[in-house]
Amino acid sequence: MAILTAPGLATGMAHAAPSAPAAPAAPAAPAPEPGAKSLEQVHAEIEDLYHQAGAATDAYNQAEAETKAQSEKIVELANLIVAGQSKIDTLKSRAGAAARAQYRSGGLPPGAQLALSGSPTQFLDGAGRLRQGEKATSSMLSELDSTQNDLRRYAADASARWAILEANRVKQEAAKKEIEGKIKAAEELENKLQAEEKARLIQLEQEALYKAQTAWLSTGALKDLNATATDAGKRAVQFATAQIGKPYVWGAEGPGSYDCSGLTSQAWRAAGKGIPRTSQEQLRLLPKVALKDMRPGDLIIYFDDASHVAMYIGDGAMVHAPRPGRNVTIAGAGSMPIKAVVRPDA
């Protein structure tokens, strides 16, 4: 069932149990100065800052996607306006030609034309052509009026979409400032630590993930998990695991770096399936499946605010882009609070 690049890691995750040996003990942390925060407190604060940055990244990505969509629609409307204006110019030219033709005929009424015509047949032929011309002119004026109404509607739509575009740009800028502020604050906290404390911080992070994964496995979450990946799912997993080692960068969609939803959306695009760009939209728009029915290629949405997403790869493991300062990696599927599982190729 497993489709993994690190089978040893996945097997260890799948068979871990509450009675499994504890993670290796870390070196003792230096005694903190009086009044100083403990390393555990620093770790919790850093993780919270990165979590907030992740939520802001999702907001940034959503605003970016909406900005792109509105920009494309404005271009489409601009093309319609140009085409409509060209059509109006053509119709006005035709109307002018008809007016000039009427002027050359003297604009005589039908009775006068009958009196001046050589025969009734000639008059009737002329009258028929006149009625055809009047009908064509009426149709042309109606088309001109309809095209002008279309142009007014296109212009109003373009103005409305421009306002939405600007609002999304403001949202992007606000989210960008929040992301940069949270990441900077987290980095400043980490940079104040000594080398030994930084090593211990990584150890605390790994211990927290190990504890959560072990607790998840102890619930029997893997007991009935035996669904196999579809061909598309296999391609998505192969793409995602091929990115292991590349850095997390917020807003990135590859090929050199990714954020969490950038990795999952690009993996499924490589598998031939376009999915929403953000973890929140992936949760909202993709079909949900029960945890017991999860199969490789499915996406796991984490945290109550759906601010993180990973791809399940089998044997209780997932691949994801964790956070700034970390690289794409394999981790336990239950190492963070699971909100839902969604299926791109349902």
Q: What is the set of active-site residues?
A: 260, 308, 320
Helix (H) or strand (E) holding 17: none
The neighbour count for residue 260, using CB atoms within 10 Å, is: 27
Per residue, the 3-state secondary structure of 58-124, as one string, reads: HHHHHHHHHHHHHHHHHHHHHHHHHHHHHHHHHHHHHHHHHHHHHHHCCCCCHHHHHHHCCCHHHHH
Q: Taking a C-beta distance cutoff of 8 angstroms, is the pair 260, 310 a contact?
A: yes
C-alpha triplet 187, 188, 190: angle, nearest 5°: 65
Bridge partners, residue 258, by sequence: 248, 253
Cα–Cα nearest to 201, from 192, 190, 213: 190
Distance (Å, whole) CA 59 – CA 64: 9
Reduced to 3 states (helix: H, G, I; strand: E, B; else coil), residue 298 is coil
DSSP, residue by residue, 215-244: HHHHTTTTTT--PPPPHHHHHHHHHHHHTT
The 299-302 sheet, strands edge to edge: 288-289, 338-342, 299-302, 308-314, 317-320, 329-332
Reduced to 3 states (helix: H, G, I; strand: E, B; else coil), residue 32 is coil
* Bond preceding residue 255 cis, omega within 30 of 0: yes
Distance (Å, whole) CA 305 – CA 35: 33
Distance (Å, whole) CA 193 – CA 228: 45
In the chain, which ranges are continuous DSSP H helix? Answer: 7-14, 39-104, 110-116, 120-191, 195-218, 231-242, 260-270, 279-285
